């Protein structure tokens, strides 16, 4: 029985090219040149991001702390070129391992924490990706009261 035939040759013609070998050093250099935020590829920083509030531990290739939307876009473009996965991370409070991974960790909790808009009539706010509940303290007292009191007259 022959192992070559129409099915085998068809599968070979539609397969994707194999990516070049992964280079953490080259990835770190490209990110450092393109991103204004922090690019961390040292063992200590990678170890800090290897775990979250879950039992899982996965050492990432590196960590990026973007300072702007442009940093996020540059990080995604470079990761795409290197064919490496991205794991977005906020507070790292996942209890099921969603914030750990072998690729790049993109931690938005340090710099992308601004509240972008606030509508007191609807008690809604728009915020950047890393803006957590603690950031509401920077709003005026009346606005904080609207956010915390959602009682409905009935």
With vertex at residue 146, the alpha carbon angle to CA 141 and CA 149, rounded to the nearest 5 degrees, is: 115
**Mean pLDDT value of segment 87-114:** 88
Q: How far is CA 122 from the centre of its chain?
A: 29
Give me the helix-helix angle, 69-82 and 24-34, nearest 10°. 150
Q: What is the pLDDT of residue 135?
A: 45
In the predicted model, is pLDDT for residue 69 greater than 50?
yes
CA 21 → CA 25, 44, 84, 86, 115, distances in Å? 12, 24, 11, 18, 41
Pair 82, 99 in one domain: yes
Q: Name the pLDDT band for 19 (thresholds 50, 70, 90).
A: low
Q: What is the pLDDT of residue 132?
A: 52
Domain containing 31 — which CATH number? 3.30.43.10
Total of domains in the chain: 2
Pair 96, 34 in one domain: yes
In the predicted model, is pLDDT for residue 105 greater than 90?
yes
Asked whether residue 55 is domain-assigned, the answer is yes
Q: Name the pLDDT band for 98 (thresholds 50, 70, 90).
A: confident
Instruction: List the structure tokens of 99.
Output: 């914030």
Pair 71, 91 in one domain: yes
**Mean pLDDT value of segment 63-85:** 93
Residue partners of 80: CB distance under 8 A and separation at least 6: none
Q: What is the pLDDT of residue 59?
A: 96
Q: How far apart are CA 12 and CA 94, in angstroms?
A: 40
**Mean pLDDT value of segment 114-119:** 70
């Amino acid at each position: 029985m022959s192992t070559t035939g129409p099915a085998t040759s068809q599968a070979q013609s539609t397969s994707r090219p194999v990516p070049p070998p992964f280079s953490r050093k080259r990835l770190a250099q490209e990110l450092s040149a393109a991103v204004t935020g922090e690019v961390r590829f040292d063992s200590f920083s990678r170890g800090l991001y290897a775990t979250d509030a879950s039992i899982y531990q996965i050492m990432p290739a590196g960590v990026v702390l973007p300072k702007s939307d442009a940093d996020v876009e540059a990080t995604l473009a470079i990761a795409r070129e290197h064919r490496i996965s991205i794991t977005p991370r906020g507070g790292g409070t996942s209890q099921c391992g969603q914030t750990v991974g072998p690729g790049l960790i993109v931690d938005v909790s340090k710099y992308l924490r601004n509240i972008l808009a606030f509508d007191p009539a609807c008690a809604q706010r728009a915020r950047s990706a890393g803006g957590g509940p603690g950031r509401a303290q920077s709003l005026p007292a009346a606005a904080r009261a609207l956010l915390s009191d959602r009682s409905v007259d009935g």
